[in-house]
Amino acid sequence: MIHKLKIAHRLSGVSVAMVAAMIAAPVYAQEGDATEDALMDEIVVTAQKRSQSLSDVSLSVSAVGSDKLASTGTGGIEGLQNLVPSISFGNDFNFAKLFIRGIGLSSSLPGVDPSVALHVDGAVVALAQAQLGSMFDLERVEVLRGPQGTLYGRNATGGAVNLITAKPTDTLEGYVRATVGGDNLYYAGEGAISGPLTEGIRARLALRGVHRDGYGINEFTGNDVDNVNQWSGRLHLEFLPTEKLSILLTGEYHKEHDRSLAVKFRAISFPGTTTPSLTSLGQRDGASFASDPRNLNTNYDPINHRKQWALTGTISYELDDVFTLKSITSYRDFEAIFFHDFDMSSYAGYRLAQTSATQTSANHWQPVFEDQFSEELQLNIDTDKLHGIAAFYYLKEKVRVENHIGFDVLTNTDPFRVQFDGTQDVETWAAFANLTYDLTDQLSLKAGGRYSWEKRHLKNNSGIGSAATGFVLDALQWDHSKSWTDFSPTLGVEYRPNDDLLLYFNWARGFKSGTAEIGSRRSAVATTPFVNPEEVEAFEGGLKATFQRVQFNLAVFHQKLENGQFQRTFPIAAPPFFASRLENAAVSEANGAELEVRWRPTRGLVLDASIAYLDSKFTSFFSKDPLDPALFGPGGANVPDQDLSGNRTRMSPEWSLNLNPSYEFDLSDMGSLQLASNIAYRSKQYHTEFNDDRLAQDPYWMIDANMLFTTADERYSLNLWVKNLTDEFVWAGSYAVATSRTIGGTLMPPRTYGATFGFKF
């Protein structure tokens, strides 16, 4: 009952009044039969590698267009969770952690593939840290839920997100948008110009810059933290030498240099204890934590320096009316330098020679360097009855990591306490196909399959120090390779009783490569650094219906993840007396349903809504809890594993709700005024497999609203907006830091507001 009262309170006041006004007033103002203006707009997607109406795609796919991305101020993938059902976003230690239907990335060391693949115009962004780049000048975003391997080059067990950029146009056009906002001074500029350069050559240039003061400060230094300083650019050159041949060359660049993404203090690991080995570093020697959870109180400011660029060439050639050959060639280079104070306090730390059992140093330095090359060769088939794709895919990737924890990891004048350096080389190729055959006008069968080969080579340079020995590299280091093969099939059926209704059922298996965490330590008892692939089997049934005023999509699913790649805690002889390693540790199952509705009852009123139910739990998982105080001592080896079966998986809210009503007033010769609101609800989410409330986010509502004025010629616009209207305090991710005996986390933004002026030509 209390929970229901809280929900009712969140929906009261300004936001409900605004939504009620948008819904109630137009209904009374416009009565009578629907007109042509009330017909549903067609949403076209390319999720199955051919242009289709969204209502004709027999998959769980959501599409978010450029207008909604702009009006909601969605400039990064984290914003998709407020627009798309069954997707959750977290981050820690510079990692983007996308989850779809309870499946996502749990590791916080480089080398492990994301379970949700991110593509830009079909080319994969392989590294989790590189997925945090901003989204700009997009035509739309498509989100596919469930295992993917027969439609996209990179296979994934959770799903796929495809960013589809705006392409060059055959007439001169463009736009400029300028934004300013506060309390934390925020200004941003974005623009694009597109059109023909000469006969058969078109171009598009898009630029974006963002600056924002910090949401908090470092109380120790006085400087802003969680600020933003980003620049992005993209250039398309499209060559059309013949009617059948097109060549698109794309260059993309993104850079950010600020003091964001550092883990904030959330709680001490063992409150009430006086045992020296269990007290948090922030409790020692007069140290203290920040007075506000959005602040830091650390000896050094965090560093977030990130730069990536990519070159992509897409060649499409129509062989005839049936076959089209397409090649996507891409190279991406990424580097990130990330630094923060692991103890999240003013604890000074001590040089290694001074370190004792009760004093340690916990500054964390993690540069990551990655380059990748990918090639995808597609043959698209489209006849009266047969539609589909057959493709070959190749990826080569190299990741190099420096992972240091110690007193002085910035200038390296003092030996590290911990060093987890290493490289990982990845090489993979795959052949896949996905075909749909129309038996009749109403009944179609689908079949697909993917054969994958993956090889990885890990080379480490790891070690650990103590007061007695100083820093010593491990006597045994990894320098090993391993390869895997897999075949993942998919089958499905489509049935259309009439033009307005589609029923479908799909069965699919998904595969995520075996791998190793870069920096995993070797001991005499460890025989391999690698874990085997994780695999998922998914069943999904659904229906899609489109009527004059209403469009809705319903999907019901069951999936089982086996050999899940999770970190398991194990004891070691020296402080902190335990560590973790990646293992095929878990089996989980998920059942759920997702309903998306788009309703246009009157000419000006549109209501987009979605609701998702997810029951995602472990059926087998045994591990030691890193927040069990018994682990912190020589007797930790005797601590039994906990049985985690029945626990919810990470980032898996039982209920997710998104509500996006909008109403457009026709102001005649002046133009139009649109009022809109986006309301998102997430039930409780855990950030750890142990379902510890100290590493969780309670249920919350997130309410955004905007008022958009557009002139009659649609050239000028002014958007007044507010995000997180009720200033909800939401943890995006949490992490228990063993060396500092502290629980930290990252936060979603507080209430922000501003105005965006737009000009189109």
pLDDT tens for each residue of 325-352: 999 999 999 999 999 998 999 998 776 6
Quick one: which H or E segment has residue 4? helix 2-10
Mean pLDDT of 502-513: 95
pLDDT at residue 37 above 60?
A: no
Cα distance between residue 504 and residue 540, in whole Å: 8
Q: Are strands 159-165 and 116-120 parallel, antiparallel or unpaired?
A: parallel
User: What is the layout of strands, in order, in the sheet containing 87-92?
Assistant: 87-92, 95-100, 103-104
Cα distance between residue 148 and residue 437, in whole Å: 20
Cα distance between residue 304 and residue 34, in whole Å: 53
pLDDT at residue 31 above 50?
A: no
As given in the structure block, the two tokens for residue 643 are 């049985």
Mean pLDDT of 402-431: 86
- Amino acid 595: pLDDT: 96
Highest mean pLDDT pick, 27-31, 65-69, 556-560: 556-560
Higher pLDDT, residue 90 or 393: 393
Q: Using one digit for the tens of pLDDT, what is the confidence trace for 476-504? A: 899 999 999 999 999 999 999 998 999 99
User: Tell me, what amino acid is at 730?
Assistant: V
Percent of the chain whose predicted confidence (pLDDT) is above 70: 91
As given in the structure block, the two tokens for residue 433 are 């196909």
Q: 540 to each of 483, 491, 556, 598, how far by Cα in Å?
A: 31, 11, 6, 21
- Amino acid 597: pLDDT: 94
pLDDT at residue 4 above 80?
A: no
- Amino acid 463: pLDDT: 85
Mean pLDDT of 65-87: 86
Cα distance between residue 416 and residue 470, in whole Å: 9
Q: How confident is the model at residue 558 (pLDDT cuts 50, 70, 90)?
A: very high
Q: 141 to each of 122, 266, 378, 534, 571, how far by Cα in Å?
A: 12, 34, 21, 27, 44
Highest mean pLDDT pick, 28-32, 344-348, 417-421: 344-348
Quick one: which H or E segment has residue 71? helix 66-71
Higher pLDDT, residue 211 or 463: 211
Q: Using one digit for the tens of pLDDT, what is the confidence trace for 679-714? A: 999 999 999 999 999 999 999 999 999 999 999 999
Higher pLDDT, residue 527 or 506: 506
Percent of the chain whose predicted confidence (pLDDT) is above 90: 65
Give me the residue label for tokens 């997925």.
Answer: 131
- HSE of 603 in the Cβ direction (CA atoms, 13 Å)? 12
Quick one: which H or E segment has residue 718? strand 716-723
For 535-569, the DSSP string reads EEEEEEEEEEEE-SSEEEEEEEEEEEEEEEEEEEE
- Amino acid 574: pLDDT: 64
- Amino acid 32: pLDDT: 36
Domain 2-760 bears CATH identifier 2.60.40.10:
no
Q: 8: alpha, beta or left, given left = phi > 0 and alpha = psi -120 to 50? A: alpha
Q: What are phi and psi of 28, to 5 degrees?
A: -75, -30
Q: How confident is the model at residue 132 (pLDDT cuts 50, 70, 90)?
A: confident
Cis ω for the linkage preceding 183 (within 30 of 0): yes
pLDDT at residue 35 above 60?
A: no
As given in the structure block, the two tokens for residue 385 are 């009855």
Mean pLDDT of 109-134: 89
Cα distance between residue 366 and residue 47, in whole Å: 36
pLDDT at residue 184 above 60?
A: yes
pTM as predicted = 0.90
Q: Using one digit for the tens of pLDDT, what is the confidence trace for 211-222? A: 999 999 999 999
Residues belonging to the chain: 761
Give me the residue label for tokens 């049936």.
Answer: 322
- Name 316's bridge partners: 246, 326
- Residues sharing a CB contact under 8 Å with residue 49, sequence separation 6 or more, in sequence order: 151, 378, 380, 389, 434
Spell out the domain ranges in the chain: 2-760
- Residues sharing a CB contact under 8 Å with residue 50, sequence separation 6 or more, in sequence order: 380, 382, 387, 389
pLDDT at residue 236 above 50?
A: yes
Q: Out of 99-103, 128-132, 394-398, pick the least confident.
A: 128-132
What is the DSSP code (8-state) at residue 156? B
pLDDT at residue 675 above 80?
A: yes
- Amino acid 348: pLDDT: 83
Buried/exposed code over 46-81 (b: 16+ C-beta within 10 A; e: otherwise): bbbbbebebbbbbbbbbbbeeebbbbbbbbbbbbbb
Q: How confident is the model at residue 626 (pLDDT cuts 50, 70, 90)?
A: confident
Q: 49 to each of 151, 160, 162, how far by Cα in Å?
A: 7, 13, 12
pLDDT at residue 292 above 50?
A: yes
As given in the structure block, the two tokens for residue 294 are 């959005």
pLDDT at residue 34 above 50?
A: no
Mean pLDDT of 91-114: 86
In 584-662, which residue ranges form alpha helices assigned H by DSSP? none
- Amino acid 353: pLDDT: 57
Number of H helices, E strands in the chain: 3, 42
- Amino acid 108: pLDDT: 79
CA 697 to chain centre: 17
As given in the structure block, the two tokens for residue 732 are 């995006």
- Amino acid 634: pLDDT: 72
Q: Out of 150-159, 273-282, 411-420, 678-687, pick the least confident.
A: 411-420
Mean pLDDT of 69-85: 85
Look over the chain and give the mean of its residue pLDDT values, rounded to a whole number. Answer: 88
- Residues sharing a CB contact under 8 Å with residue 404, sequence separation 6 or more, in sequence order: 364, 365, 366, 416, 418, 419, 420, 421
- Residues sharing a CB contact under 8 Å with residue 221, sequence separation 6 or more, in sequence order: 300, 301
- Residues sharing a CB contact under 8 Å with residue 210, sequence separation 6 or more, in sequence order: 75, 134, 186, 187, 188, 228, 229, 230
Buried/exposed code over 360-380 (b: 16+ C-beta within 10 A; e: otherwise): bbbbbbbbbbbbbebbbbbeb
Buried/exposed code over 513-527 (b: 16+ C-beta within 10 A; e: otherwise): bbbbbbbbbbeeeee
